[in-house]
Amino acid sequence: MTSPAELLTVRDLRVEFAGARGRAATPAVRGVDLTVRRGETLGIVGESGSGKSVTALAVLGLLPGTAGITGSVELDGRELVGLPGRELARIRGSRIAMVFQDPLSAFTPVYRIGDQIAEAVLVHQKVDKAAARRRAAELLDLVGIPDPVRALDSFPHEFSGGMRQRAMIAMAVANEPDILLADEPTTALDVTIQAQVLDVLRTAQRETGAALVLVSHDLGVIAQMADRVAVMYAGRVVETAGVDELFAAPRHPYTLGLIGAVPRLDTRGGPLVPIPGTPPAPSQLTGGCPFAPRCPLAEDRCLTGEPQLTGPESHLAACVRADELAERRPAPAEVYPVPDVPPSALAPLRADREPVLRVSGLTKTFPILKGAVFKRRVGEVYAVDGVELDIRRGETLGLVGESGSGKSTTLFEVLGLARPEAGRIELLGQDTAGLDRAAVHRLRAQLQIVFQDPMASLDPRMPIGDVIAEPLRAQRTPKPEIDRRIPDLLRLVGLEPAHASRYPHEFSGGQRQRISIARALAVEPQLLVLDEPVSALDVSIQAGVLNLLQRLKAELGLAYLFVSHDLSVIRHLADRVSVMYLGRTVEQGSVEAVFNTPRHPYTRALLSAVPLPDPVAERARERVLLAGDPPSPTERRAGCRFRGRCAVYTALAPELRTRCEQESPVLLDAAPDADHAAACHYPTEGQA
Amino acid sequence: MTGAVPTVTTADAVIENAPTTVADAAPAGRGRLVLGRLLAARGAVAGTVIVLLLFLLAFVGPYLTHWHYTDIDYAAMRQPPSATHWFGTGGLGQDVYAQTLRGLQKSLIIGLLVALLSTVVAGLVGACAGYFGGWTDRLLIFFVDLMLVFPSFLVITIISPRLKNTGWIAFVVLLAAFNWMITARVVRSMTISLKEREFVRAAQFMGVRPLRIILRHILPNAASYLIVDATIAVGSAVMSETALSYFGFGVKAPDVSLGTLIADGTDAAPTYPWMFYFAAGLLVLFVLAVNLIGDGLRDALDPTAEAGRAPSRRAARLSRSTRTPKGSR
């Protein structure tokens, strides 16, 4: 019964992965209903393990043989489930096309980009090779790859991540499909590149008239792109509605919690709304509402039967209290318990607090070596080239930059506590250049790090009691003291002391990150370096960790050096922010100043590229798209290194441009007393 | 390897501190946890019991018969097992029971010590080379390669006359010295990849000393390979000792080892099976027991392993994959 407007109808789709050796099968998707209309964009949002990617793959028939699929997927009235592989293959690529998450593994590394796109054309269309190649060039042009004819002969590794993802989109639209399935198409990319790719997706959609199914965990991306949204939880759709309706008046408590858990670029401070607990494992489902154990609104009836999607056709929700929520329209914080963040007891005036870390003019280069036996130096990578940092007691400095901007190198230089190649690092007033080994060892206790990946940063073969004890042992703390501290530390980060004898793999991602934080706090440091501490976590978990960090900062008077590519998180947590581009600090200052009146065109572009989890605000925004990719850090060019991508530079009169080309800008304060400096010759040009 | 962890406690403590740890009591350290898991693994306990029984047999067994391994019974040559000669007799009328137990004494000690020694050396050299890199790496690997290209038997024949009087210890050292190089190379490459892992970096930034990092993080994470390698080394040490005996080094007639007994008895196996199968059977039993211990130890050190923990491996993997949100980022 497909009405003409409905292109793809998914009814009661169930996917199970067969268990090995007689064990029970694991359900990944448990009855999903979706409809995609011609030309519209459907966003599927959910956390990891919610079954969103499996749903997309099941539609394409791309799941492995161990997966059992039941239910119905109809494309234009034609049933796809159970179709033989050959017929499915004819549909894939010509009527439904897929854009994968990882652009690196989506291309075969040994074939040229052009050949791979032409192949997609040749498989489905009766054209000769030359025509297919011409078409490939057209497609690359469509997705905005400069010099498409030459790009045809490039190999995938010669493309940057963003360009590969564009080429992927070009390949997907090669046969003008009716449906474009994009599974986390921008997750692996930087924000400015993400903005470019989303723009290309929109162009591709406009040119081909295809419907777009966008799978993402990022509410901002969904709010920006989608017409309708389906929220998935534990293998089912729990709410589906038009994008405005969904964000304005969610009817499922999970959706409400998600919206409250995301830090936003346009508001700051205060605790986020964490959703307690973790998503259930497929084996833990009891038959009640799968969200009930985490839901603050759960009642007895939630535990007995799984609620079905109900409500008006335009807004379905699988919650027994959906009507109540629709009527009351509560804010997330009214429904979920929000922890208090105690006020900091430190001197409010920045000048009154002693500096914890001071970095000026930091430089680090890596040699590029060639030759097998005798290595010759053939060049240098300027990974860090002029970084300024200033952190005082009890404050958070957010360090922002895209990949390759030298954030990690800066961190490792600071953590190395050695004499830098050039410049100066001062930790607690001590210059690292003049430290002996004993002093370095003592200073280590004042400076601790929390890494990005909570799985990799804990030794899998060590019980967490030993993990947390390690920094104490390194500082030669007596054993009774260590034994006393471990339960305290576990309690401090919200874990139970009895957990000390468990191994890291028994914990969830968020809990593991808490263990990392406990380990870092064990020696009572003054400065905590947080290297993307929440970017590997789901939003609902991330909110809890961010709240914990805020609480610890207030309680213990810690200073944070918070590295992130996510500007919303920085905005939420940081007091001051420092923006890096190509190894150099281009703007720094208080969060309010930098986010409200950015002076560097790069900062403006970054801010504009971050999608807001609010469709109305998102549409009202003006967008500054940054062209191209960051240039290679192997050459040190005269003048401003951002000018190749700079909108201000291109708009300047030729006689004013000379300054950008010849003179490298230095950090200049916006006003004599303001905590705001930018390295731009024309900081006021092009300001909104 | 776990011996280096400072919190190793005695077996008694494990029994007192059964799994239900009381909150706020000192948390069980890694050493105690590993020991607890090892004792919970049935295979490892069975293997240990078998090895202990073999030692008992080897050192107490000879007193149960009046035959000495050097005795020759001219009245009974190539006789099958009987009440007088429990395992039968050999070609010259030697008592196979006495000989086999004498051989077992030698081989148990040689096998275990050679495996232990070569694994320890391989682990330390490989991990140091991989961890420190640079000149340490280059020198150590040069030495490893040098040892690999040396014809080991030639070296042994040259130096064996000087060591003739030092007995079996020198022999064990020599066997181990030519047995560790390949393992060391593998450990080195494992170390190089482990070194880049964040938990090692975290330890470095905490100010943990390099050797501590090697003992506490690198070697436990390379333990699965080392243990498997060591269990194989036990069997091969027993057999390679036979080859050395040809050079008049090691075990010399009339003294015997399991290796020499098996080598001598191989030809007789179809016709006089007792001359071969008792020695071979004991060696198989020995290697099997060592393998059981090795498997148990490997599982005890690997917290995700099926043994020693209630949830199955698949369940652990599943829960890990659902818990780790890495997948969708």
Domain containing A204 — which CATH number? 3.40.50.300
Q: Are strands A26-37 and A6-17 parallel, antiparallel or unpaired?
A: antiparallel
Kindly list the strands in the beta sheet with A396-400, ordered across the sheet, starting from the edge strand earlier in the chain.
A447-450, A527-531, A559-564, A396-400, A576-581, A584-590, A676-678, A668-669
A93 neighbors A177 (Cβ within 8 angstroms): yes
Angle subtended at Cα A462 by Cα A461 and Cα A463, rounded to the nearest 5 degrees? 125
Q: Do A460 and B303 touch (CB under 8 A)?
A: yes
Residue B22 has pLDDT above 50, yes or no: no
Average pLDDT taken over every residue of chain B: 77
A265 neighbors A568 (Cβ within 8 angstroms): yes
Most B CBs within 10 A among A459, A481, A569, hence the mutation to make, goes to A459
**For residues A502 and A498, what is the distance between their CA atoms, to the nearest angstrom?**
8
Q: What is the pLDDT of residues A180-220, one digit of tens each?
A: 888 888 877 788 888 888 888 888 888 888 899 999 888 88
Q: Per-residue b/e over A341-373, b at no fewer than 16 CB within 10 Å?
A: beebebeeebeebeebbbbeebbbbeeeeeeee
Chain B residues with beta carbon closer than 8 angstroms to that of A49 = 321-322, 325, 327
Side chain identity at B134, as an amino acid letter? G
Query: What is the span of the domain harbouring residue B52?
Result: 30-304
Domain count, chain B: 1
Q: Is there a single domain that holds both residue A223 and residue A367?
A: no
Q: Do A217 and B33 touch (CB under 8 A)?
A: no
Q: Do B325 and A49 touch (CB under 8 A)?
A: yes
Residue B253's pLDDT band, with cuts at 50, 70 and 90, is low
CB-nearest to B33 from A48, A448, A463 is: A463
For residue B103, the surrounding DSSP H or E stretch is helix B96-132
Q: Is residue B156 part of a domain?
A: yes
Q: Is residue A46 part of a domain?
A: yes
pLDDT at A1: 43
A175 neighbors A118 (Cβ within 8 angstroms): no
**For residues A107 and A478, what is the distance between their CA atoms, to the nearest angstrom?**
55
Lowest mean pLDDT among A156-165, A173-182, A207-216, B211-220: A156-165
Q: What is the pTM of this model?
A: 0.81
Q: Do B325 and A187 touch (CB under 8 A)?
A: no
CB-nearest to A498 from B21, B302, B321 is: B21
Domain count, chain A: 2
Lowest mean pLDDT among A102-106, A107-111, A133-137, B235-239: A102-106
pLDDT at A397: 92
Residue B247's pLDDT band, with cuts at 50, 70 and 90, is low
Q: Do B326 and A444 touch (CB under 8 A)?
A: no
pLDDT at B124: 93
Residue B306's pLDDT band, with cuts at 50, 70 and 90, is low
Q: How far is CA A180 from CA A43, A170, A204, A299, A672, in A?
A: 12, 11, 9, 40, 53
A537 neighbors A513 (Cβ within 8 angstroms): yes
Q: Do B207 and A487 touch (CB under 8 A)?
A: no
Q: How far is CA A665 from CA A642, A682, A686, in A?
A: 10, 10, 17
pLDDT at A345: 65
Chain A residues with beta carbon closer than 8 angstroms to that of B324 = 48, 455, 508-509
CB-nearest to A449 from B30, B202, B321 is: B202
The residue among A384 and A623 whose pLDDT is bigger is A384
pLDDT (mean) for B233-240: 82
Residue with tokens 């979706």: A34
Residue B15's pLDDT band, with cuts at 50, 70 and 90, is very low
Q: Per DSSP, what are the bridge partners of residue A17?
A: A26, A67
CB-nearest to A461 from B27, B206, B220 is: B220
pLDDT (mean) for A667-676: 81
Q: Is residue A167 part of a domain?
A: yes
Residue A292 has pLDDT above 70, yes or no: yes
pLDDT (mean) for A305-323: 84
Chain B residues with beta carbon closer than 8 angstroms to that of A483 = 26-27
Most B CBs within 10 A among A105, A284, A476, A505, hence the mutation to make, goes to A505
Question: Where among A197, A215, A233 does a domain terminate?
Answer: A233
On the 0-12 / 13-18 / 19+ scale of CB atoms within 10 A, A307 is buried
Residue A371 has pLDDT above 80, yes or no: no
pLDDT at B20: 38
CB-nearest to B325 from A47, A282, A457 is: A47
Q: Is residue B11 part of a domain?
A: no
B107 neighbors B286 (Cβ within 8 angstroms): yes
Q: Is residue B151 part of a domain?
A: yes
Residue B72 has pLDDT above 70, yes or no: yes
Chain A residues with beta carbon closer than 8 angstroms to that of B327 = 48-49
Residue A635's pLDDT band, with cuts at 50, 70 and 90, is confident
Question: Where among A213, A233, A253 does a domain terminate?
Answer: A233
Q: Is residue A196 part of a domain?
A: yes
The residue among A9 and A403 whose pLDDT is bigger is A9
Q: Is residue A57 part of a domain?
A: yes
Residue A428's pLDDT band, with cuts at 50, 70 and 90, is confident
Residue B185 has pLDDT above 90, yes or no: yes
Q: Is residue B315 part of a domain?
A: no
pLDDT at B322: 40
Q: Do A519 and B323 touch (CB under 8 A)?
A: no
Q: Is residue A373 part of a domain?
A: yes
Average pLDDT taken over every residue of chain A: 84
**The two structure tokens encoding residue A303:** 């535990």
Q: Is residue A277 part of a domain?
A: no
Q: Do B206 and A448 touch (CB under 8 A)?
A: yes
**For residues A244 and A230, what is the distance between their CA atoms, to the nearest angstrom?**
12
pLDDT at B126: 93
pLDDT at B249: 67
Q: Is residue A577 part of a domain?
A: yes
Residue B329 has pLDDT above 60, yes or no: no
On the 0-12 / 13-18 / 19+ scale of CB atoms within 10 A, A275 is buried
Q: What is the pLDDT of residues A490-535, one digit of tens each?
A: 988 888 888 888 888 888 888 889 999 999 998 889 999 998 888 8
pLDDT at B313: 42
**For residues A376 and B246, what is the distance between their CA atoms, to the nearest angstrom?**
52
Per DSSP, the three-state class of A665 is coil
pLDDT (mean) for A600-627: 83
Residues contacting residue A28 through CB under 8 Å, at least 6 positions apart: A15, A16, A17, A51, A54, A67, A235, A282
Provide, rounded to the nearest whole percent, the portion of chain A with pLDDT above 90: 7
Q: Return the half-sphere exposure (C-beta side, CA atoms, 13 A cut-off) of residue A623.
A: 19
Question: Where among A181, A209, A233 does a domain terminate?
Answer: A233
Residue A56's closest CA among A18, A97, A89?
A97
Side chain identity at B111, as an amino acid letter? G
pLDDT (mean) for A111-136: 89
A467 neighbors A519 (Cβ within 8 angstroms): yes
Q: Is residue B113 part of a domain?
A: yes
Query: What is the span of the domain harbouring residue A49?
Result: 6-233
Q: Is residue B5 part of a domain?
A: no
Q: What is the pLDDT of residues A227-252, one digit of tens each?
A: 999 999 888 899 999 998 888 888 88
pLDDT (mean) for A597-601: 88
Top-ranked range on mean pLDDT: pick from A100-114, A259-273, B162-176: A100-114
Q: Is residue B6 part of a domain?
A: no
Q: Do B303 and A503 touch (CB under 8 A)?
A: yes
**For residues A444 and B86, what is the distance between their CA atoms, to the nearest angstrom?**
69
**For residues B29 and A483, what is the distance between their CA atoms, to the nearest angstrom?**
10
Nearest residue in chain A measured CA to CA from B206: A471
**For residues A192 and A603, what is the distance between their CA atoms, to the nearest angstrom?**
10
pLDDT (mean) for B172-196: 89
Provide, rounded to the nearest whole percent, the portion of chain B with pLDDT above 70: 80
Residue A286 has pLDDT above 80, yes or no: no
Lowest mean pLDDT among A58-67, A315-324, B164-173, B311-320: B311-320
For residue A677, the surrounding DSSP H or E stretch is strand A676-678
CB-nearest to B314 from A23, A456, A483 is: A23
Residue B48 has pLDDT above 60, yes or no: yes
pLDDT (mean) for A557-564: 90
Residue A32's closest CA among A7, A57, A65, A64?
A57
Residue B124 backbone phi and psi in degrees, to 5 = -70, -50
Q: Any idea what the CATH number is for the domain that residue B45 is in?
A: 1.10.3720.10
Q: Is residue B123 part of a domain?
A: yes
pLDDT (mean) for B300-305: 80
- The reply to whether omega before A84 is within 30° of 0 (cis) is no
Top-ranked range on mean pLDDT: pick from A156-165, B214-223, B319-328: B214-223
Q: Is residue A530 part of a domain?
A: yes
Residue A417 has pLDDT above 90, yes or no: no
Chain B residues with beta carbon closer than 8 angstroms to that of A452 = 198
Residue A522's closest CA among A488, A499, A552, A497?
A488
**For residues A606 and A625, what is the distance between their CA atoms, to the nearest angstrom?**
9
Residue B246 has pLDDT above 70, yes or no: no
Q: Is there a single domain that holds both residue A438 and residue A568?
A: yes
pLDDT at B130: 92
Q: Do A483 and B26 touch (CB under 8 A)?
A: yes
Residue B315's pLDDT band, with cuts at 50, 70 and 90, is very low
Residue A97 has pLDDT above 60, yes or no: yes
Q: Do A536 and B197 touch (CB under 8 A)?
A: no
A594 neighbors A587 (Cβ within 8 angstroms): yes
CB-nearest to B327 from A48, A457, A501 is: A48
Residue A172's pLDDT band, with cuts at 50, 70 and 90, is confident
